[in-house]
Every structure is written in structure tokens, then in C-alpha cells.
Amino acid sequence: MTASETPVVYLDHAATTPMAPAAVEAMTTHLLEVGNASSLHASGRRARRVVEESRETIAQALDCRPGEVVFTSGGTEADNLAVKGVYWSRRAEDPRRVRILATSVEHHAVLDPLQWLEAREGAKVELLPVDEAGRLDVHALEQAIAREPESVALVSVMWANNEVGALQPVADVVRLAGEHGIPVHTDAVQAVGTVPVSFAGSGVDALSLTGHKVGGPYGVGALVARRELPVTALVHGGGQERDIRSGTIDAPAIAGFAAAVELAVKEQASYAAQVGALRDELVRGVLSVVPDAFLNGPPAGAERLPGNAHFSFPGCEGDSLLMLLDARGIECSTGSACSAGVPQPSHVLLAMGRTDAQARSSLRFSLGHTSTRADVDALVEAIGPCVERARLASR
């Protein structure tokens, strides 16, 4: 069997997961239809009906009002719209509101807009510490708010960490911020469909999600934002999406997105049980073959995403280990980023107290709705020889 014929064992569902057949069907049904949802003629009205029915479907799945669903091009745009849009609006209301509080383990879709606001818009960003499992230090948040609550424009805390799977104490964040009327945004890209997510029940003011992490298409997502929350637009034009996100609406993609969200939320409990059991088998198998590997993040259980297993392999470079596994048809991801061709240690692991070497020796295996026991067995069979070769290369 040639390399091109090697069966792929896909263990990178946290990066993107295959489209669900229901989402493919919903999307393709409308691909050949013509009609701009902003047009007043029959074709336009038909496209608008697709969009609004999809909005209602997503609202029902996420326990929010349809008017609170603002369609975007994905999670990154939703995060940018929340962080920048809320900051600008809050500061316009009161110039003292220049502080933004977030965790030190946020996705770059939140961290980079924060850095931009700090460099160009006068924001004062405070990245709060996390514990060794990657969970927010709630006491640090409480102290940061209490120091000068009237100056806080926004608190942004992700629902679940994309690298180590740590579920964040969103309820505590909402409680502390709510005591001072401070809005809370949460990046729930990794959470929707994998753990229970209720917008109304959580008490957050804004929530980001994206299609391709829940079995929907690329290039579509949403910011769920309370109607009462002022949000300044990033993109100006035709005034679509409550006048805070202009642009011609992609009705076919939104239909696929809605079908995926509906299915993922409906099957969340059974998904979590099935994928969680596979993940536990994967963890046991990897640790039996590589006993000195270290599982990063919370223990498998209620405080961790069911499909996430993130390891450090002492003596290995994560990039080398990834490529060795890839050559055997096993696809995963490394926690490091690459800047100008030079691997950089994961900011998440560094915030958790890991050393540079530990951070660079890490791999994330993430399972999803197409994962099987055969995938886990293939990884367990391959990981020992690949670690051995990666260690020899490092020496």
C-alpha cells in the first residue's frame, strides 16, 4: 500500500470535523437556488425564509431568542465582533471603561483582537492566570474586578479551551461580572455540541460559535448577543444582521450550519458518552505504551471536553512526532505555533506552568462524531515506535 493509499486516522476534530450528512443535504438543497435574502422579490423572499428559519432553529438549540443570533463568517469574526464591538460601545458610553479582562489561555481569535485594541484603541488588557489544569483563577478575576469595577468594559472567558479541553467556570464569571453590570463574552466554539450550552441559562451577554466545529460548513458562524447589549459594527454596508454585521447573507451555508447545530445539540449527551469512552481508552492506551507521557489539562471527567486528550511526551519535539504519526496515516495537532518557521511553545501550556520544553513536546488528539475504536487502536499501536524515533532524533 502506498502512502497515498494509507487509511487516514483522523484525530484532529477540534481543528475541524467532517460535515454531518444532514448539514450537507440542507446546504446542497439551496446551492442552486438564486436569491439575495435582502431582495424584495419572490426569490429574495425565499432566501430570506431559509435564513430566518435557520435562525429560529439555532435559537431553539442554544436557548436564545432568534433576534439574538447574528450570522458571521465564523468563530474568528464572531470573537472580533464581540471583543471590539462591545469595547467600542461601552467606552463610548463611559470613557473610563478601558479595561478588558480575559484568561491567559484564550484562543488567538480573542487574544489578537485584544492586543490590537491595546496597541491602537487605548484598551488596558489584563490576562488572568489559570491553574495547572488550565482553568481560570476565579479569585484573581474577583480581585481584578473589585480593584476598579467602573473601568471594566468587558470580560471575555472561553467556555472550553481548544488545546487542553478545560471547561471554564463560566457561571462564576457571570456572577462576579454581573454584580457590577459588566458584560461577559464567551468563546463557545469548542463547547457547542460537545457539552450542554444554554445561552439564556448561562447568563452570558455574548457567545461565539462556528459551523465547521459542529459538523457544518466552513465560512459560517454566529455571535449570539443579547438585544440589549450595545455592539459597534466592524463591517459597514447594507445593514444586514441588526446593522452590526453587513454583507450579503450566505443562505445555503446558513442552512447547513443550522442543521448541524440542531443535530449536534440534539445528540450531545449520547455523543459525549460515546466519544468520552473512546477518549478514556485512548488515554489509557497511550499511557500504557508511553508511561512517562503526561496528560495535560483536567482529569477526564466533568471539567474536560469529552473528545480531548492532550499529552506531553518528554524528550520529543511535538512537530517531529506529529510528522512521524502523519507518515503512518494518523493525523493530530501540536500545541505549538510556528512563527517565521520557528516552532513556538503553546501559550496555553506556558500559562499552565509548563516549561518551554514540555510545551514543545506536546500533541493534541481530539475525537469526534466519526471516531471509532479502530482509530484509537491505530494510535496506540503507532505511538510507541514514533515516540522512540522522535526521541532519537532529538538526541
Distance CA 250, CA 253 (A): 6
Distance CA 298, CA 301 (A): 8
Q: Which three cell numbers stand for residue 380?
A: 496506540
Stretch (H or E) spanning 309: strand 308-312
- For 81, phi then psi, to 5°, come to -65, -40
Closest CA to 135 of 162, 158, 166, 163: 166
- Rounded to a whole number of angstroms, the CA Rg of the chain reads 21
Grid cell 467602573 — which residue?
Answer: 150
What interhelical angle do 251-266 and 42-62 show, nearest 10? 20
Asked if residue 295 lies in contact with residue 311, where contact means CB atoms within 8 angstroms, the answer is yes
196, burial (CB in 10 Å: exposed 0-12, middle 13-18, buried 19+): middle
| Residue 301, C-beta contacts closer than 8 angstroms, at least 6 positions apart | none
Distance CA 69, CA 254 (A): 12
DSSP assignment string, 117-137: HHHHS--EEEEEPB-TTS-B-
Distance CA 345, CA 337 (A): 7
Distance CA 253, CA 266 (A): 20
Distance CA 80, CA 78 (A): 5
Amino acid (1-letter code) at residue 244: I
Told to judge if 64 belongs to the known catalytic residues of this protein, a careful annotator would answer no
Print burial letters for 286-312: b (CB count within 10 Å at least 16), e (below 16): beebbeebebbbbebeebbbbbbbbbb
Active-site position among 64, 316, 338, 386? 338
- For 33, phi then psi, to 5°, come to -85, 140
Annotated catalytic residues are 338
